[in-house]
Chains A and B, each alone.
Chain A
Amino acid sequence: MDERNFTYMFYGFAAVWLCLAAYVVSLAAREKRLRQQLDGLRKLVEDRGEKR
């Protein structure tokens, strides 16, 4: 019981960090999408500028 008690305590600690880590990963993925959108936008503005 005692060993299991201790193991589950670590599972609990890990669970909090995993939840926050999952959110940080989602933030990083969103950051990457924003950069891709920005690159696409830069290209679009350059193309429009050349056409004019």
Chain B
Amino acid sequence: MRERFIILFTGFAAVLLVRNLYVMLVKLPDEAAQGAIFRIIFFHVPAAWTSFLCFFAAFVCSILYLAKRNLRYDAVALATTEVGLAFAAGNLITGMIWGRIIWGIWWTWDPRLTSMLICWLLYAGYLMLRRAVEEPSQRARISAVLSIFAFVDVPIVFFSIKWWRTQHPQPVVWGGGTMDPSYWNMLFLNWVPLILLAVVLILIRLRQEEAQREIDAVRRWAHAL
């Protein structure tokens, strides 16, 4: 069943991405002020949204793990965090490339950029912490606490452009930013394949984590023979 979902979602995401790339590069005109570089927004923003969704799922699963002590929640939290981190890296790098052209600099210690970098580092720390703790239930408990703590940064990233004076453009979905409807549609249309890809990667990582736990259990049983 899971294999079928993975194949179906991957195929659907691939078709949508090819279609979106065609529309983005051939049909949509350059933005009047920014030119071609504006199109980075079609990956930059959906990558951020996807990573936030993943971190939210990790947050919920971490709370559920602490409440129910079921290691399956810990496995889902791990898988969603890893995938969220990959998308967050994509968001940070595309932002830097856009900034190089529009601002003339790769990086600035702006509240939005800094809080997003902190978010990335917190979740990277989560993955490093997991490697440092051997005992599975202790690892799951400590990681769940860190995941809940790390999620505090996500609303800070989201609201940073409202709370502080920032160089980052105002949000187009909610806030002072505006966008032509054709750009607007593409932003959401390109989010769909990224979500599908995230689900596929989470399902694959989850399967690996379950396999790892089974292998560890059989190894313990084999040593006990």
Contact of B219 among A12, A16, A44 (CB under 8 A): A44
User: In whole angstroms, how far apart are the Cα atoms of A52 and B211 in the complex?
Assistant: 27
- Tell me what chain A mostly uses at the interface: helix, strand, loop, or mixed: helix
CB distance from B217 to the nearest CB of A (A): 10
Measured as residues with beta carbon below 8 angstroms from the partner, the interface class of chain B is 20 to 34
Contact of A9 among B37, B201, B215 (CB under 8 A): B37
Chain A contributes a number of interface residues (CB within 8 A of B) equal to 28
Residues A12 and B94 in contact, CB atoms below 8 Å apart: yes
The interface residues of chain A lying within 8 Å CB-to-CB of B201 are 20, 23-24, 27
Q: How many A-B residue pairs have CB under 8 A?
A: 86
- Chain B positions 124 through 155: 1 when the CB is less than 8 Å from some CB of chain A, otherwise 0: 00000000000000000000000000000000
The interface residues of chain B lying within 8 Å CB-to-CB of A44 are 219, 222-223
B40 at the interface (CB under 8 A from A): yes
CB distance from B11 to the nearest CB of A (A): 16
User: In whole angstroms, how far apart are the Cα atoms of A38 and B201 in the complex?
Assistant: 22
User: In whole angstroms, how far apart are the Cα atoms of A50 and B89 in the complex?
Assistant: 50
Residues A31 and B208 in contact, CB atoms below 8 Å apart: yes
Residues B225 and A52 in contact, CB atoms below 8 Å apart: yes
A-B contact pairs, 12 of them (CB 8 A): A1-B35, A4-B101, A8-B101, A9-B37, A12-B39, A12-B93, A15-B94, A16-B43, A27-B201, A27-B205, A38-B215, A41-B222
Interface residues of B (CB under 8 A from A): 34-37, 39-40, 43-44, 47, 82-83, 86-87, 89-90, 93-94, 97-98, 100-101, 197, 201, 204-205, 208, 211-212, 215, 218-219, 222-223, 225
Given contacts A1-B35, A12-B98, 6 further A-B contacts (CB under 8 A): A2-B35, A9-B39, A13-B43, A30-B208, A34-B211, A34-B215
Interface residues of A (CB under 8 A from B): 1-2, 4-6, 8-9, 11-13, 15-16, 19-20, 22-24, 27, 30-31, 34, 37-38, 41, 44-45, 48, 52
